[in-house]
């Protein structure tokens, strides 16, 4: 009896499996299951898929022309004028239709490829790719669409569309691809190099990296100060030399990024700090395109990075909060907006864990927003300052972390990064090493942040802002003991000013050796002594601030 029941159970299981397989195969071809059931089945992408893409033009003086899609339809719009707001009365936008898989009708087709071309794109050599034909849309857009069932589950399915600008446009987001050819709507979109970027498949959730001291006890931070990237190639300001290659015109952003790329490969930093003015707002009519360029090289090399803003980042079309929202979602980004109740955007800290598997922090980096221009030009001309709410947040955070840091059986170090220097950078009575080529444009009001850093055990602070200054200055306490190093990163970008007697762009590094508790800092040049470590010096020894060697 038992054997007969087992046999019947096996036969029933086989039959049920066969029926299930048959239903899945039929649904895959003919969609036999109702939408209510189908929506709960496993699929590659259970969100929205693109079913059409087009370009529309509109005019502010034509009452019959609308620059917004009908909200009653499934059409969305990339809210970027393809003319970058240069048209007197006309604008153009990319629109795309998206639907949920369970809402797809029999007449709907899913976009599986998109190309930009004046002519019909060449067909693939693969027979399976020839079943769908290319469909033309305005702006030189060609779509390949399919009505094949479950096409929305495929890695080929396009699920999102965006627009970037510039011949050097890049997209660091996982799963996104910038089209090689700009939109061919007219001469203006071609000149602005308006490019479509598409995402295929399910959006990938990026896991925040966890920086950690290497097994040999070393950790290297690269500071990128004042990249000043534009929308498009950008214009060089005060380049030295005028042409890196004789006969080749200087293009700001490509030259800046070639310099950064060379140092990334030679120095192989463990982390990068972008210390403000990544975006040159005045020449970045699409700030997203400029911001993407600032991190693409880091994403490609899987290097964690943290960013703060300068006084130019939000002078384009995006606010600080909008820029930080983009940064927070990018791969390998450690950037955060910080507490809403604290002044500014980008007040946060990053913990670098100790070597091995410990969950204790070996390094703490405090990053603060130094804002932009003075809110009181009549009394304090120039630039803004660190606010009381920020200092309060900083001190409270340092206090809250102190107990946990003391539990770490090895050495722990604290440092800070800001964009605009604190007023103490002006004190010429202090020892300093490096170039002091321009007057430090620190704020006229001293809010006391330097004192707060010393009280909370910050060993060094590094800033940007004044491009041609690259010195490190030693502050001493009331007992004349070394208490804090205050360093400049030195301007990196050719889109920002140089000059002052032939300034060569440079990058500062901080090389930590946790075994003896030492920090070495030095700079690398874009031109001239490109192999050397300029002004190399030890600023921390035994986990404490170290004064200059007697011979220096």
Tokens of 92: 């153009």
Please provide residue 214's backbone torsions phi and psi, each rounded to the nearest 5 degrees.
Answer: -65, 160
Direct distance between the N- and C-terminal alpha carbons of the chain, in angstroms, rounded to an integer: 97
Of the candidate ranges 84-93, 118-127, 205-214, 271-280, the one whose mean pLDDT is the lowest:
118-127
pLDDT in tens, 187-208: 989 999 999 999 998 888 888 9
Per-residue pLDDT, averaged over 49-71, amounts to: 87
CA distance 53 to 116: 12
To the nearest 10°, the Cα dihedral for 127, 130, 131, 136? 170
Looking from the CA of 310 toward its CB, the CA atoms found within 13 Å total 30
CA distance 97 to 156: 17
C-beta neighbour count of 251 within 10 angstroms: 21
Q: What value does the mean pLDDT of the chain take?
A: 90
pLDDT in tens, 402-436: 999 988 889 999 999 999 999 999 999 999 999 99
For residue 149, what pLDDT band results from cuts at 50, 70 and 90? low
What is the share, in percent, of the chain residues with pLDDT greater than 90? 76
Q: Which of 427, 507, 418 is nearest to 467 (CA)?
A: 507
DSSP state of 334: -
**Strand (E) positions, 384-533?**
413-417, 432-433, 458-463, 472-476, 482-488, 506-513, 518-525
C-beta neighbour count of 199 within 10 angstroms: 20
Q: Is pLDDT of 249 > 70?
A: yes
For residue 244, what pLDDT band results from cuts at 50, 70 and 90? confident
Q: What is the pTM of this model?
A: 0.89
Q: Which of 137, 157, 176 is nearest to 288 (CA)?
A: 176
Please provide residue 350's backbone torsions phi and psi, each rounded to the nearest 5 degrees.
Answer: -125, 130
pLDDT in tens, 328-342: 999 999 999 999 999
CA distance 431 to 475: 8
Domains of the chain: 46-200 (2.100.10), 218-545 (3.60.21.10)
Amino acid 388: pLDDT? 98
pLDDT in tens, 267-280: 999 999 999 999 99
Higher pLDDT, 407 or 399: 399
Using the structure block, give the residue that is written with the tokens 């800046």.
256
């Amino acid at each position: 009896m038992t054997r007969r029941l087992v046999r019947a159970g096996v036969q029933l299981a086989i039959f049920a499996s066969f029926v299930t397989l048959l239903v899945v195969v039929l649904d895959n071809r003919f969609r036999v299951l109702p939408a209510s059931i189908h929506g709960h089945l496993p699929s590659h992408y259970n969100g929205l898929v693109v079913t059409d893409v087009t370009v529309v033009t509109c005019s502010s003086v034509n009452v019959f022309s609308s620059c917004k899609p009908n909200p009653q339809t499934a059409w969305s719009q990339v809210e970027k004028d393809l003319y970058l707001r240069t048209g007197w009365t006309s604008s153009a936008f990319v629109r795309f239709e998206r639907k949920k898989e369970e809402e797809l009708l029999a007449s709907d087709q899913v976009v599986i490829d998109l190309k930009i071309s004046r002519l019909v794109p060449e067909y693939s050599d693969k027979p399976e790719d020839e079943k769908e034909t290319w469909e033309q849309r305005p702006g030189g857009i060609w779509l390949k669409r399919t009505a094949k069932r479950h096409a929305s589950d495929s890695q080929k399915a396009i699920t999102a569309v965006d627009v970037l600008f510039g011949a050097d446009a890049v997209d660091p987001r996982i799963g996104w691809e910038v089209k090689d050819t700009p939109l061919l709507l007219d001469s203006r979109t071609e000149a602005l190099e308006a490019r479509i970027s598409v995402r295929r498949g399910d959006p990938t959730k990026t896991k925040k990296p966890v920086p950690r001291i290497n097994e040999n006890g070393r950790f290297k931070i690269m500071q990128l100060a004042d990249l000043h990237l534009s929308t498009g190639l950008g214009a060089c300001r005060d380049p030295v030399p005028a042409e890196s290659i004789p006969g080749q015109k200087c293009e700001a952003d490509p030259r800046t990024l070639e310099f950064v790329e060379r140092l990334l490969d030679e120095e192989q930093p463990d982390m990068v700090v972008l210390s403000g003015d990544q975006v040159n707002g005045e020449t970045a009519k699409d700030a997203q395109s400029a911001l993407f360029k600032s991190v693409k090289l880091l994403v490609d090399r899987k290097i964690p990075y943290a960013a703060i803003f300068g006084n130019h980042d939000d002078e384009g079309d995006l606010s600080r909060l909008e820029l930080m929202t983009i940064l927070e979602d990018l791969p390998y980004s450690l950037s955060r907006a910080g507490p809403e109740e604290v002044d500014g955007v980008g007040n946060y800290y990053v913990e670098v864990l100790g070597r091995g598997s410990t969950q204790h922090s070996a390094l703490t980096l405090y990053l603060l927003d130094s804002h932009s221009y003075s809110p009181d030009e009549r009394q304090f001309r120039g630039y803004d300052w660190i606010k009381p709410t920020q200092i309060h947040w900083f001190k409270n955070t340092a206090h809250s972390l102190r107990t946990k840091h003391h539990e770490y059986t090895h050495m722990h170090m604290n440092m800070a990064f800001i964009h605009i220097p604190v007023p103490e950078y002006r004190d010429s009575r202090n020892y300093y090493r490096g170039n002091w080529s321009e007057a430090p444009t620190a704020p006229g009001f001293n809010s006391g942040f330097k004192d707060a850093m010393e009280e909370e055990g910050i060993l060094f602070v590094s800033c940007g802002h004044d491009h041609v200054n690259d010195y490190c200055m030693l502050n001493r306490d009331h007992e004349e003991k070394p208490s804090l190093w205050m360093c400049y990163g030195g301007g990196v970008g050719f889109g920002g000013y140089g000059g002052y007697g032939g300034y060569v762009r440079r990058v500062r590094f901080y090389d930590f050796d946790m075994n003896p508790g030492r920090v070495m800092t030095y700079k690398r040049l874009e031109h001239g002594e490109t192999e050397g470590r300029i002004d190399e010096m030890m600023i921390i020894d035994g986990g404490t601030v170290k004064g200059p060697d007697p011979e220096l």
